[in-house]
Amino acid sequence: MKKDLILCGVGGQGILSIATVIGEAATKAGIFLKQAEVHGMSQRGGDVQSNLRLSTTEIYSDLIPLGKADLIISMEPMEVLRYLPYINKSSWIVTNSKPFVNIPNYPEEEKLFAELDTLPNIKKLDIEEVAKSIMMPKSANMVLLGMAAKYIEIVSVEQLREAIRTVFARKGDAIVEANLKAFEEGMKN
Instruction: Compute the mean pLDDT over every residue in the chain, rounded to the nearest whole number.
Output: 93
Pairing label, strands 47-55, 122-125 = unpaired
Contact 142, 184 (CB under 8 A): no
Mean pLDDT to the nearest integer, 69-97? 96
CA–CA dist 35, 80 (Å, integer): 19
Q: Are 10 and 42 in contact (CB under 8 A)?
A: no
Bridge-based pairing of strands 71-74 and 2-10 is parallel
Reported confidence tier of residue 102, pLDDT bands at 50, 70, 90 = confident
Q: Is pLDDT above 50 for 42?
A: no
The H or E element containing residue 124 is strand 122-125
- Give the pLDDT confidence of 104-154 residue by residue, as tens digits: 888 899 999 999 999 999 999 999 999 999 999 999 999 999 999 999 999
- Label residue 12 by pLDDT band (50, 70, 90): confident
The 10 Å CB-count burial string (b at 16+, else e) for 43-64 is eeeebbbbbbbbbeeeeeeeeb
Gap between the Cα atoms of 4 and 91, Å rounded: 10
Homologous superfamily of domain range 2-187: Pyruvate-ferredoxin oxidoreductase, PFOR, domain III (3.40.920.10)
